[in-house]
Amino acid sequence: MNIPLNGRIAIIDDNIDQAQPLMRSLSKNQMPYVFYKGNDLNYLPEENGRYNDIRVLFLDINLINEAANPDIKQLRSVLFSVLKKVISPQNFPYVLIFWSRHQEEHGELVSSLFENDLKDRKPISIKGFVKSDFYPNYASEEEETEVDIIEELNKIISTELSYSYLLNWENQVHRATDKTLQEIFSAYHSFDSWKDNANHLINKLGISYSGKAFFGQNPSEKIKSAYNSLTYLVNDTLEKYVNSNEIDNAKELSIADSEISKLESFHSINRKLLFSDDIESYEYPGAVIEDKNTKTESNFLELLNNSFNRSQIENELTEDEIKDKTHAQVNKIINKYSSSKRKEIRNSWKRIYISATPLCDYVQNKYEYNRCVKGIIIDSKYLDYIDTKSEAIFISPKFIFDDRSCIMVLHYRYFFTSNKAANLKYLNPLFRARQQLLSEVQSKLSRHISRQGILFLDDR
């Protein structure tokens, strides 16, 4: 069963008495939920408030007094106001289940609402139920019916395969965090004071991550150190759950319309795999920062020159261009075309550097200088003009940036350190390289720094 276990089920109803049977069903099955009274603003979150993460939404279509017999226009207006507060544009993916006695008519109302006014909050699936099919007369004790709301909900989730697998993963994350806390604090019954022993354990977790630096940290940094230790433990437990978990209803995920132009591009997916949109700190490991200082532009011009693949220009020369030309004349033509191509690249480049400081040094505040590597972000169509054979150059996979396919080119000869109090006036944070990409950058940087080279004579 892949129904959310982490409080991501929401119920919107104007009559709590009619919602209580559903609440009891969810409670009996240990499925947390949140209830919103649809005709009371005190129950609704502030619009554009905190990020919400609803996965299943039960919605009563009529949030107006039933005795008023509201028309479609009135229903639509109230639903729009309530849903806009409860569901944010960031709330995705989720399924919507609406209660109605007029399935066809109200089904069109809900579909139209999400196709137009609430398009940015559209659910992946909309299903219509009749309350009385599950809870006749909304009695204080549920009567036996031929349909079970939990079974029907599970069927809805199971029909959306990719959605059900994602919910399964979220449930495993939930179980992994619970398992980790159980393992760390399982012996608390053996001690007289829960608080003292918990404080002791949390401090020791912080020390295990930060070492001696823990004792010089402020309370916030100490708690973060403990969190980092817990994160390592959760990741280990989650990995075990993922690899040993039995997947319900496991099937191949087919694509009805496999025309690649109608699907998200590989380069767009790469952006998500390689980078995060986090721009919180200039010094955080993996931070990719744009350098807009005109005084440093010459360094990047040199970087591009030293990264440029002149042999590609040579390969593009036609027979007519080099016919009867001396080596010096051909070299002059190559220089001219190379200069023109580098200028073309600079028209759309971003001059950047990436923070390569080890995460442990950053978290433990053990560094005096931030370690960085300079580079550029350029259109991926210029990849052939970058020297891919040089060990001093790192080239990322292609990814979407500024609505175009790009690559990030780093040059390890332009490794530098910056003071923590460096001038931020000309710096613009773009995004953050994820840990795997950062580790690859750091690993190749380490090899570049530690290479010894060899002594030899050339007889040419």
Give the span between the Cα atoms of 231 and 228, in whole angstroms.
5
> Is 4 within the bounds of a domain?
no
pLDDT, tens digit, for every residue of 88-101? 988 889 999 998 76
- Shared domain check, 421 and 328: yes
Can you give the pLDDT at residue 254? 85
- Shared domain check, 155 and 171: no
- Shared domain check, 142 and 40: yes
- Shared domain check, 138 and 71: yes
- Shared domain check, 407 and 342: yes
- Shared domain check, 123 and 89: yes
- Shared domain check, 235 and 219: yes
- Mean pLDDT, rounded, for 350-373: 86
pLDDT, tens digit, for every residue of 238-248? 999 999 988 87
Domain count, the chain: 3
> Is 124 within the bounds of a domain?
yes
The DSSP element (H or E) to which 35 belongs, if any, is: strand 33-37
- Shared domain check, 289 and 175: no
Q: Per-residue pLDDT for 141 more than 70?
A: no
**Residue 32 DSSP SS3:** coil
- Shared domain check, 409 and 314: yes
Per-residue tokens: 280:
């919180």
- Name the residue range of residue 235's domain: 166-244
pLDDT, tens digit, for every residue of 168-217? 999 999 999 999 999 998 766 777 888 888 999 999 999 998 888 889 88
Can you give the pLDDT at residue 147? 64
- Shared domain check, 180 and 328: no
> Is 255 within the bounds of a domain?
no
Residue given tokens 């001696």 in the structure block: 212
Can you give the pLDDT at residue 140? 46
Share above pLDDT 70 across residues of the chain, in percent, rounded to a whole number: 91
Neighbours of 428 (CB within 10 A): 13
pTM for this prediction: 0.82
- Shared domain check, 67 and 14: yes
> Is 260 within the bounds of a domain?
no
Phi/psi for 37 (5° steps) reads -80, 110
- Shared domain check, 53 and 194: no
**Residue 10 DSSP SS3:** strand
